[in-house]
Structure 1
């Protein structure tokens, strides 16, 4: 995740007790609050506030998963893994989405609206998984995904060579208008 709050949480640590000025990695021992410096008090207050915000926003199932976390950083990392999966899971999801994009085609008797909604969701999911395509490529792929009854309009759009200057929603609007006009004529 790249949410700004997440970046702030990752840099945040609650004060840890040391043994002879040595912090034992992976071993969390909270420092005696009476020995906190002003900065450490601010960090603990910030951590407590964020924990409260996160905990109050969770449902019971998610709450049960984070109940034993000792800091907001641990809570956030656990929520991230539970919701998004590990990097390996995200990588596999990205590959699956790319495969779906490459093989996307309109289904029989599927209208342009259904095709657009499904295709647009796929593009959004790809972007969430950090896979981006140029507007021209997305628009061309969308055109190639559509059914034959729009073939004349698709050919006209492709000949105009402006696919890189419009977004997918505008392209959908053009094709939807054409489809409605064709239905009205028939």
Structure 2
């Protein structure tokens, strides 16, 4: 018997000792978790700030004023938006609004001072915002190339954990997950932001 045959024989023998694998692994215990609104949003804010994101709270009626204040505060005068974004959101912003289109080369998006988008769902437990390319969120390049991303998160779109958030996504849509500004750490443990996406992320929680 060769060494190879001996190894295979031992593997087959070990497999007979293992219990049969379950046909389906139960996952019900990880779905449908709830948390009081104040606690859930507080957890989200804590996670976002821990990731160096800037967080703002406002009522729905105050969103245009809040967005204008955020954009003015960072000196943004030329702001990109996806084609499906609600027009009323930037009515109080007095700078230039550039509506994204497929024929705008991705490198040209780097000339924008900021981009404003909506979001699909957000996970409070991990501080992760999910974008799925819907008309009010736009193509992936729109939120990765500009240096600053302002993302609007409705309170009713915030779920407790990842399983609850994933259950609200459409699997066929391209999903981008954002957990604060893009960052990486080199071998010397020097943190560098903006390598794979925007260096600055501002999150406006509405509701």
Q: What is the TM-score with the length of structure 2 in the denominator?
A: 0.17
Q: Which has the larger radius of gyration?
A: 1
Higher helix share: 1
Higher relative contact order (CA 8 A, sep 6+): 2
